[in-house]
Amino acid sequence: MIKEAIIPQSKSPCAQPGGGGPLTYEFDRSDFWRSIPAWRDIDPETFGDFRWQQRNSITSIQGIQKTLKELATPSLIADIEAGLLKTPMNLRLTPYIFSRIQWGNMENDPVRRQFLPLGSQFVPDHPHVMDDSLAEDSNKATPYLTHRYPDKALFLPITLCPVYCSFCTRSRVVGGSTAVKSKSTYGAKSTEWDATFDYIRNHPELEDIVISGGDALLLRPNQIRHIGTTLLEIPTVRRIRFATKGVAIMPMKFTSDKEWVEALDEVCQIGQKRMKEVALHTHFNTDREITEWTSRAMKSLSATGVRVRNQSVLISGVNDGFDCLHYTGKKLSSQLIQPYYVYLHDMVPGCEHLRTTVQKAEHLSRRLQGSIAGFNTPRVVCDAPGGGGKREISSYTLYDYEIGVSAWTSPTAKPGEIFYYYDPIHRLPQDGQALWANKAEISRRLANFKSEAEAKAEATRH
Ligand SMILES: *Cc1c(COP(=O)(O)O)cnc(C)c1O
Ligand code: SF4
Q: Work out the pLDDT band at 8, boundaries 50, 70, 90.
A: very low
Give pLDDT, residue 20: 64
Give pLDDT, residue 223: 97
Pocket probe for ligand 1: among 152, 312, 342, the residue whose CB has the most ligand atoms within 8 Å is 152
Residues 102/186, Cβ–Cβ less than 8 Å:
no
| pLDDT above 90 for 424 | yes
Give pLDDT, residue 23: 82
Residues 201/235, Cβ–Cβ less than 8 Å:
no
Residue 407, SS3?
Answer: strand
Residue 380, SS3?
Answer: strand
Q: Compute the C-alpha angle 166/172/177, nearest 5°.
A: 80
| Ligand 1 within 6 A of CB of 210 | yes
| pLDDT above 60 for 4 | no
How do residues 237-257 score in pLDDT, each as one tens digit? Answer: 999 999 999 999 999 999 999
Provide the Cα torsion 214, 217, 222, 228; round to 10°: 70
Give pLDDT, residue 3: 45
Q: How many residues in the chain?
A: 462
Average pLDDT estimate for 118-143: 93
Give pLDDT, residue 1: 44
In angstroms, the CA 405 to CA 454 distance is: 14
Give pLDDT, residue 75: 94
User: What number does the ligand 2 atom closest to the CA of 161 have?
Assistant: 4
The alpha carbon of 29 and the centre of ligand 2 are apart by a number of angstroms equal to 27
State the pTM of this model: 0.95
Give pLDDT, residue 6: 47
Pocket probe for ligand 1: among 277, 310, 390, the residue whose CB has the most ligand atoms within 8 Å is 390
The alpha carbon of 301 and the centre of ligand 2 are apart by a number of angstroms equal to 21
The alpha carbon of 168 and the centre of ligand 2 are apart by a number of angstroms equal to 5
In angstroms, the CA 212 to CA 232 distance is: 16
Give pLDDT, residue 189: 87
Give pLDDT, residue 99: 98
Question: Which domains are seen in the chain, by residue range?
Answer: 32-120 (no CATH), 137-392 (3.20.20.70), 396-462 (no CATH)
How do residues 164-208 score in pLDDT, each as one tens digit? Answer: 999 999 999 999 999 889 887 778 888 899 999 999 999 999 999
The DSSP code sequence of 81-133 is HHHHTT-SS---B-HHHHTTS-GGGGGG-HHHHHHS--GGG--PPPTT--TTT
Nearest ligand atom owner, CA of 171? 2
The alpha carbon of 149 and the centre of ligand 1 are apart by a number of angstroms equal to 7
Q: Work out the pLDDT band at 358, boundaries 50, 70, 90.
A: very high
| pLDDT above 90 for 362 | yes
